[in-house]
Every structure is written in C-alpha cells, then in structure tokens.
Structure 1
Amino acid sequence: MSDLQGIVHDLPDEAYFAHDSLSSTGARRLLDSPARYRWEQEHPQPPRQAFDEGHAIHTLVLGTGSNIVELDFDNFRTKVAQEERDAVYAAGGVPMLVKDMAPIRATAEAVLAHPTARRLFEQDGHAETSLFATVDGVPCRARFDFYAPVGVDLKTTAGRADRHGFSQSAAKYGYDVQDAWYRDVREVVTGERGEFIFVVVEKDAPNLIGVHQLDRDFVDLGRAKARRARETFLRCTETNTWPGYPEPIQLVVPPVWLINDAIDKELA
C-alpha cells in the first residue's frame, strides 16, 4: 500500500487506516509520547463504540463513508446483540441501535440546515478524500472529510461549539496539528496550502453549530508541532528507539490556575 501517492478518492476506511504512512493522529501521539505511538501501532485496537455516533453523523452529512447498520435491540448487553454488533464491525460497518438514530439524524440535519456549513459542503469538491505525500522525508497521509478549495473537517462535540469552546477543544485535542498536517500534505501534492475550516456541531439538542478557522497564532503553533512530530518520527525510526517520559526525576510546578486561585482566596 506504500505505493499510494497524491489524491485518492473513495479509498475504503480500512485501506486508509492500514496504510504505513504517518497520519495527523499518529503525529499527535508522537508529540505526546513516542513510546505510546509505537505501542498503539503494534497493538491495534478494535472498533470503539464511543466513536460510532460520530461516524454515523459524518456519513449522513457527507453522503458517503461508513455503512450504517441499524439493529433493533434495546441495548448491546445480550449475547445475541453483541454477536450481531461484532458481525457488523467485522464487515467494516457501524452498528447503531434503531432507537438511537433519531437524535443522530437530527444532528446531521442541523449541519445541513446551517447556511454557512451547507455552503462549505456544497463547494465543488469530494467527500472522504485521501492525500498521500512525502513531507520532510516522512511518508504522510491526510483524509479530508470534504476536499475542496476550502477543505472542511466535520466534528461533533459533547461540549460547546462556539469559538471559546472550540478553542479549548483545539488546544486539548491538537486540532492545530491536524490543520497544519492536512495543509502540509496538500501543499506537497498540489503546490497550494489551501484554507481549512472546522464545522463543529453539538451532539445535544438543539444541535448548535459553530464554523471556525484557526487564527495565525494557532496556525503557526500547529505548523511547528507538525514539523517536530516528523522530526521525532525520523529520529525514532532511524535509531529504533521510542522513548516515553523523561527518565530523570522531574520537578513538578503548580499550574497557573492553582496559583491564581490561591491568590484570589488570600485577597478575599
């Protein structure tokens, strides 16, 4: 599969995720801990039910993606239900309980009814598009939810989808690295970095929508971290060493919020 290069449309999920190039998710694992990244590569995990809802929403919004299979059980606690669920996973599908589909459809409909989000998904483009390129000497891949002049990534959140909530999510989950990674790969493939937009929908009713673009500071941080991840990957690969946390004893300092909290209480 290492022969994949450039833009590839309609590549099955299993083929994309099995590819031996570095993804933005892998880059974020490397930045956290090369040892954790290596362990996850050597111990691939089975599908996680926690992600099924998001996969289903993506499929309904984008009109392509995972095969949603609705199962008419109250839950997945019984042996029969678990066997049917696992059979769907084995076939590459997403098992969903019939009773859980109404809020998922409502979430997808909210995205498509949002004027700005709808315009982005109505661009001349292609959903679920994979790009492969060598960046800084590292074979890399990126999978755009919607590949167009303005690339779009659809995210669901259990929190807030406004700009303040998404700023916290972007910092916590490394979406600045994802932004940089996708644009780095795109630039190698096409010669243009393009723009990148996040469409974020709250999973709980009334399914509020936020449409966000990272500012210059976030973008610069992401590019620096993405570059560092590639450098780390090359160094670990060449030396076959995948370090965890620092071995020497570490001096632990209090977080800023704890210091501020102590000051506030002293002044009260």
Structure 2
Amino acid sequence: MDRIDAMRVFARIVERRSFTRAADDLDLPRATVTDAIKSLEARVGVQLLQRTTRQVAPTLEGEAFYGRCLRLIADMEDAESAFSASAPAGPLRIDVHGMLARHLLFPRLPDFLAQHPGIELDVSEGDRYVDLVREGVDCAVRVGELRDSDLVARRLTTLPEATAASPGYCARHGTPATIDALQDGHLMVGFQSTSTGGLLPLEFQLGSRVRELVLPTRVRVGGAESYLGAALAGFGLLQAPRYRLEPHFAAGELVPLLAATPPRPSPVHIVYTRTRLPSPRLRAFIDWAAREFG
C-alpha cells in the first residue's frame, strides 16, 4: 500500500474510531488496515493511534498528523482531477432528512447519477443530526437553523411552512381565526426536539416579529412521519413545509389554518466538516444540489 492510501486508511480510522468500521468503509480486509497503520507509525516514528478495548483515538501526534493527511489527500485528489480527463468517481456518503429525501431528493437523483456515472451514493435518512466525522458521512442536507459551528454550510433553498389540522379535529375543537383563539381549548401534536428533548413551539410571523406558542398536547412524537400521521389522525395542530402538506390539502385530509401568520420558512443547507476538504465527487454533488434546489 502506498503512502497516500495508508494516509486515507489512517484518516478514516480517526473519523470512525474503529479499525473494523474503517475497513468496511474502504472495502479492505481488517488485516490490511492493521498492517497499513503499523507501517505508517514505523515510517513517521511515533504512535499515531491509542487503542483500547472499546475504541481507537488519535494521540496528540496523531491529531496533528491527521490534519496534514487531510490536506495532502485533498491536494492529491485536486491534482489528479485537474490533470486527468476522468470524471469524479467513487463512493459518496450523504445524510438527508427523511421527508426531504423521499419527496425532493430521490426524484431528482437519477439526473445526478446520469451526469456522474462513476459516483456511487450511500444515502442515510432520518430525523436525528449525525456526527459527520465520527459516522464517516461526507455531507448532509439539513432543514432548519444550523447549530454546528464547525461545519461548512451552503444554503440550497428555503421551504415555506404552513399550519394545519385535520377536518375531524376542526369539527371537534373549532377552526381558529386568530392566534389568540388557539389558547381556547386547542391542542398541538408535540414534536420533540432532537437537541433538547423538549417540545418545539408553534411559531407565527407577525410582520417582522415571530410569536411562539406551546399548546397542550396529548400525543408527542420524535419523527417527521409520525408528526404528520398524528395530525392526520386528529390529535392536534402541526406546522410543516407546505410541499409536504399540499397533497393532503388537495385530498381534504388536512385544513390550512392561520394563513396570514405562517411559520417562518425553513432554510435548507448542505453541510460538510471543515477538517475534510471536499473531494471532486463531493464538490460535484454540492454544485449539482445548489443548481437543482436553488
């Protein structure tokens, strides 16, 4: 194994905190990964990784060496792409919010794969925030305000939001005409924040101000699909991107409420870690996503 490949192995072990997971990511035998690190440590003359029975962590020297490895790998990939006629190729791991993946991303992915036949996508989806470095993810498409200061973010678009409830709910509790009317016996479907564990408040734009309101709730959920399902079942109000609610408005399964004071639109960003310079395949995906969603 040459030095650059050994550096790639070392960098992935640092990111995944595991020889086994790194070997799986790189499609290499575990023994090959172990031998590569032994040779690398012998070459540089210091211990780069601290092994325990539970995980692998870089030493202080390993942390410094990891940063240099990333720069060298990125420079090599840039040089290869600049002087080679070959298109971006290889595996690309992305994480996308579940609803966004199914309704906006996947219908457009055939176009991306047709433009870049050498790229293989590994897409994970969910409602939680993944640790890009620790979980070996190249980039993520995230909805909402960002809280990770160590990530590079590129805004793709904003999603208009709406407030809604089922016709059955409105028949039982009435159709509120104002925000103040919500405090007269109305309920919301409780959506639990992945960061705090508390319930996210409903929000309403009043000119340049935003009013937040937490209503009583009998059902609490932690996922976007369950959130929508609970509202369709009549358990209370919800707020969600309009693209997701429009089919249910058209089918008469949900009723739009308080349209004059909608929630703030949700920004959509593509993010990647500052410590990993984007590879040609990652840059290709970022540029495509910016054009497609912009």
Report if TM-score (shorter chain) is over 0.5. no
Q: Which has the larger radius of gyration?
A: 2
TM-score with structure 2 setting the length: 0.22
TM-score with structure 1 setting the length: 0.23
